[in-house]
Amino acid sequence: MSESEYNRDQRTTLEAVNAALARLSEAERDAIRETIQPYLRFRDAVDRFFKEVFLAKCTKACFETGLSACCGFESIITFASDHAINLLFSEPERIAALIDVLRRPNLSGKCVYLGPSGCLWSVRPISCAMFLCGQVKSLVFGDVKEREEEWSRLQTDEKAFTFPDQPVLFDSLESRLIELGVESPHLFFHRSPGLLLV
């Protein structure tokens, strides 16, 4: 079986972004990493909330049953900026593992990035971090209004990094990648008709 279109597009983006970042000096990469720090703090807050409130229920209701909507299909949405952030905070071995898994046919019926120990990304794509299925939200939120309000605040905070109605991190990272000559089907902030209208 040959490489799927999804795997090919993911690998093309990963390799193009990785090559572009490799052309920068360490000082330039460090400067970009510095601009990403507020986003990483936000992601830490999301991960903390998920672990404290959702993890046990998600594991039991979805992952252990094989019914997972988040990791149960191949075509998760990734942005070129997701790839850049992940690559800037990944060791070479982890990057090589991502490229390797994308070269192989995905016969699992699950996300290509889902390994035996969980996600292969160091910093998971934002669409994965912010996805919660309706079933688990109903279980967790129930009558606990404070939890639902906290999740709503995190969703609002996400927009400061990813919703291009103002200058945001994902847009500026993508602009930098384009300046570096990256061609990718995941340059949604500059190529997606929907996002260009925001």
Task: Please count the other Cβ atoms lying within 10 Å of the Cβ belonging to residue 10.
Answer: 26
Answer yes or no: pTM beyond 0.85: yes
CA distance 27 to 29: 5
| Predicted confidence (pLDDT) per residue in 96-109, tens digit | 999 999 998 888 77
pLDDT value of residue 27: 98
Q: Kindly state the average pLDDT of the residues 117-141.
A: 87
Tokens of 171: 């847009």
| One-letter amino acid of 115 | G
pLDDT value of residue 198: 44
CA distance 139 to 152: 16
pLDDT value of residue 76: 85
Tokens 């507020």 belong to residue: 38
Q: Kindly state the average pLDDT of the residues 143-168.
A: 89
End-to-end CA distance of the chain: 40
pLDDT value of residue 61: 66
pLDDT value of residue 68: 62
pLDDT value of residue 189: 73
pLDDT value of residue 159: 94
Confidence bin at 74 (pLDDT 50/70/90): low
pLDDT value of residue 190: 67
The b/e string for 72-104 (b: 16+ C-beta within 10 A; e otherwise) is: bebebebbbbbbbbbbbebeeeebeebeebbee
pLDDT value of residue 197: 47
Q: H-helix or E-strand containing 115?
A: strand 114-115
3-state secondary structure of 79: coil
Helical residues (DSSP H) of 89-144, grouped into ranges: 92-103, 126-129, 134-141
pLDDT at 63 over 80: no
pLDDT at 138 over 90: no
Q: Kindly state the average pLDDT of the residues 157-180.
A: 92
pLDDT at 177 over 50: yes
pLDDT value of residue 154: 96
